[in-house]
Chain A
Amino acid sequence: MNKKIIRWIIWILLLGGTLGGISIFSLCLGSAGIPVKDIIPLIFEGRGTTEYSILFDIRLPRILLGLAIGGALSLAGVILQGMFRNPLVEPYTLGISGGAALGVCLNIVLGLNSRGGILSIPVSGFLGAVMVILLVYSLSMRKGILKIQGLLLTGVMISFISSSLIMFIMAVSRTEDLHGIVFWIMGSLEEPNWFLIKAALLVSLLGMGIAYLFCWDLNALSLGEEDALHLGINTERTKRLLFVLASVLTGCSVSVAGIIGFVGLVVPHFGRMLAGGDHRILLVTAYLAGGAFLVLCDTLARTIISPLELPVGVITGIVGGSLFVYALTKRQVALGGK
C-alpha cells in the first residue's frame, strides 16, 4: 500500500512538473519573437512595454484558460468513462456541446450578442448546455432510476439533432453571422475577458475538489452498478450528482472556449496508462495531464504556421489521436483496470 502511495506522489510531482514546464515554454514561445533571455528582466522591470503586454495580456490568459479547460474536460471524461464503463464516452457525447453550440447560434442569428456585449455568447452557450442536460436527464429517468445506457443514446441523438439544427441555422443566416458561428464552433482559447478566465479556473478547480469526494464511489461504479450497490454505494444519488458535475464542467468549458474535441476522450486513457485506473489517482493525473496537453496543443497551434494561427481543435485531434493510436499498438489499454 505504502509503495503505491509513493508511486502516486511521484506521478503527481512528475505531471505537475511537466505542466509547469509546458506553461513556461508556452510563455516563452510565440510569433512576436521575444528572446528567451529577455523574459526574466521583462517580468521584473518591463511594465508598460509592448513585450510585457504580449507576455501578460496575450500569452498568460491563454495558458491559464488552457489549464482550466483542459483540466475540466479531462475530469468530465474520467467521470463519464468511469460511470458508463465505456471507453468511448467523452464529455461531448452527451449532447452538451451540441446544446451549447445551438444556444450560441441562436444568440448570433437573433443578434442578441450585438446588444448583449461580450458576455452574452458564453451565457447563451451555457444556457443551451443546461437545457440539454435537463432534457437528457428527464428523458433517461425511469421510475426514479437513471438509465445509464438510455442516457448515452439520448445524448448521442440530441447531439445529432442539435448539429442538424445548427446546419439549418447556418443555411438561412447572413454571411457575417455565419462567420461568428464558425468561429465559435472551431473553439479557441482566445478570451479577452479576465472574469471569464477566472470563472473557468474556479469552476474547474471546484469540480476537481467535488469529484475527488467521489473517488471511492467511482471506483465502485467502474466495477458495475450491481457490485457498487452491494458495496453499499447509493448508486442512484451518486450517478445523478456525477452526471450533473460532468455536465456543468463541460458546459462551462464549452461556453467559454467553444468546442475543443478530443481532450476529454484521450487524456483519461493516458491517465490510466500512466498511473493506473484507480480513481483516487486517476482524477488527479487526468486533470494535470489535461491541462498540460491543452496548453501544449495551443502553443503548437499558435506557432506552427506563424503569423497564422490554427484552430486548437485541429492540433488536439491530430496530436492526441496519433499519440493514442501509437500507445494502443504498444500496449493494451485496460479500462478501469487495476
Chain B
Amino acid sequence: MNKDPIIWVILKAILFFGFCGLSLWFSSKIVDRFNEKIEPFAYPQRIISLGPALTEQLYLLGVEDRLVGCTVYCKKPKEAESKEKVGTIIEVNLEKVVDLKPDLVLATSLTDPKAKEKLKDLGIKVACFPQAKNFSQMCDHFLGLGRLVGKDKEAKKITNSAKDKVAAIKEKVKNLPKPEVFIQIGAKPLFAATGRSFINDFIEFAGGINMAKEAKEGIYSREEVLKKDPEVIIIVTMGIVGEKEKEIWQSYQTLKAVKKGRIYIVDSYQFCSPTPVSFVEALEEMAGLLHPELYPHQTQ
C-alpha cells in the first residue's frame, strides 16, 4: 500500500471534519425540541393541506372555508377539487404556498422534509401528521387536528361516534369463527399488510386473523401464502393491477380462497388513507367480506 502523504492528509481531514459536524448536530438538536409548542389561542384562518386524508378531515370538522390550498390528489369530498392546488403529496410548490399566505400548513410523513424546513424558516407554522399506525392513533391525530383549528367539540363527537360504531361491529363478530386472511397491499413485489399497518386493525376488528401479522417486512413470498393457505385473500389496489393479481391467485387451484371464491378486491383509497368516518365505512365492508352471513345484502 503506497501512501501519498498529501492525499491521505486531505482525506483524513475531510473525514475528521465530517464527524465533527455529526457530533455538532446531535448537540444542537436537543435545543430544538422545546421550541415546538402549539399555541391553543390563535386559531389558523388560512390552512394549506398537503395530504388527501387531512383535507378530508378538515371538511369533516367543518372548516373547509379556511382551507386555501391542497394537493392535486385531494379529490374527496368533491368540493376539494375546486381549491387552489399547491403540488402533489410529495412535491410541494413553495412559491405557491407562500403566495397563498397561509398561517398553518398541514404536512404528512410523505412531504418533502426540505420543504417543511424551508416553510418553518419562512415563519409559517407547519404541523406534521404522520401516517397513523392503528385506529386509536388515527383518532388521536384527528383530535389533534381538531384542537389545532379550534374544533375540539366536533372532533370529539366524530371520533366518539366512530369508536361506538367500531365497538358495535366488534361485538357483532365476537363469537363468529375467525377466518385467516391475507391482505395484499402491493404487487411486484408482493406486499402484505403486516401487524404494523392500520390495515391490520381492519382485519382484527372485523373478526379475522391477519396471516402476515408477525412478518417483519411487508415483502412476502407467494410460496408462504400457498403454504399457510388463507381462507380469504383481499387485494387492496386499484383498477387493472388488482384484476391481474386476482387472476394470478386463481391459477393456484389448491388454495382454499380460490376453491371458495373468496378473493376480493377493495378500493385502496378508502383503505389506505382513512379518516375516522371512512374507517368505519371500510370496516363495515371488511366485516361483510369476512362474514358474508352477517351482511347478506352485500353482493360481490
Contact = CB atoms under 8 A, between A and B. Distances in A.
A307 B2 contact: no
A192 B118 contact: yes
B267 interface: no
A113 B130 CA distance: 16
Q: Is the interface of A mostly helix, strand, loop or mixed?
A: helix
A172 B99 CA distance: 39
Interface in A43-63: 50, 53-54, 57-59
Interface stretch (A116-124, A156-164, A291-299, A327-335): A116-124
Contact of A32 (B1, B87, B99): B99
B11 A244 contact: yes
Q: Is the interface of B mostly helix, strand, loop or mixed?
A: helix
Contact of A241 (B6, B21, B95, B112): B6
A116 B88 CA distance: 27
B243 interface: no
Interface string B78-117: 0000000111101101111011010000000110111101
Interface residues of A, number: 50
A100 to B, nearest CB: 12
A244 B10 contact: yes
B41 interface: no
Contact of B21 (A58, A123, A143, A306): A123
Interface string B7-34: 1001100110010011001101100100
Given A127-B18, A171-B189, A58 B11 contact: no
B219 A179 contact: no
Given A116-B22, A190-B115, A309 B217 contact: no
A87 to B, nearest CB: 27
Interface in A192-249: 192-193, 237, 240-241, 244, 248
Contacts of B91: 308-309
Contacts of B1: 138, 141
B134 interface: no
A123 B110 CA distance: 22
A113 B25 CA distance: 10
B36 interface: no
A316 to B, nearest CB: 17
Contacts of A151: none
Contacts of B118: 57-58, 190, 192
A134 interface: yes
A183 B109 contact: no
B250 interface: no
Contacts, number: 123
B98 A58 contact: yes
Nearest to B185: A175
B214 interface: no
Interface in A125-182: 126-127, 130, 133-134, 137-138, 141, 143-144, 171-172, 175-176, 179-180
Contacts of A50: 98-99, 101
A175 B131 contact: yes
Contacts of B14: 126, 130, 248
Contacts of A58: 94-95, 98, 118, 122
Contact of A53 (B72, B122, B131): B122
Contact of A118 (B2, B117, B130): B117
B11 A54 contact: no
A191 interface: yes
Contacts of B189: 171
Nearest to A121: B113
B10 A143 contact: no
Contacts of B109: 176, 179
B87 A307 contact: yes
B223 interface: no
Contacts of A317: none
A175 B108 CA distance: 12
A141 B4 CA distance: 11
Given A31-B95, A244-B7, A57 B130 contact: no
Nearest to B94: A58
Nearest to B28: A117
B121 interface: yes
Contacts of A30: 95
A338 interface: no
Contacts of A183: 90, 112-114
Q: Which of B26, B91, B121, B189 lies at the interface centre, i.e. has the most chain A CB atoms within 10 A of its CB?
A: B91
Given A133-B11, A176-B110, A54 B130 contact: no
A179 B26 contact: no
B219 A171 contact: yes
B94 A179 contact: no
A59 B113 CA distance: 18
Nearest to B93: A307
Contacts of B122: 53, 57-58
A4 interface: no
A192 B121 contact: yes
Contacts of B110: 176, 179
Interface of B: 1-2, 4, 6-7, 10-11, 14-15, 18, 21-22, 25-26, 28-29, 32, 72, 85-88, 90-91, 93-96, 98-99, 101, 109-110, 112-115, 117-118, 121-122, 130-131, 189, 217, 219
Given A57-B118, A237-B6, A307-B93, 5 more contacts: A54-B95, A120-B22, A130-B11, A130-B18, A172-B219
27 contacts: A32-B95, A53-B122, A54-B95, A57-B118, A58-B98, A116-B25, A116-B29, A117-B28, A117-B29, A120-B22, A123-B18, A127-B18, A130-B15, A137-B7, A175-B131, A176-B131, A180-B113, A183-B114, A188-B114, A190-B118, A191-B114, A240-B6, A241-B6, A244-B7, A244-B11, A307-B87, A309-B87
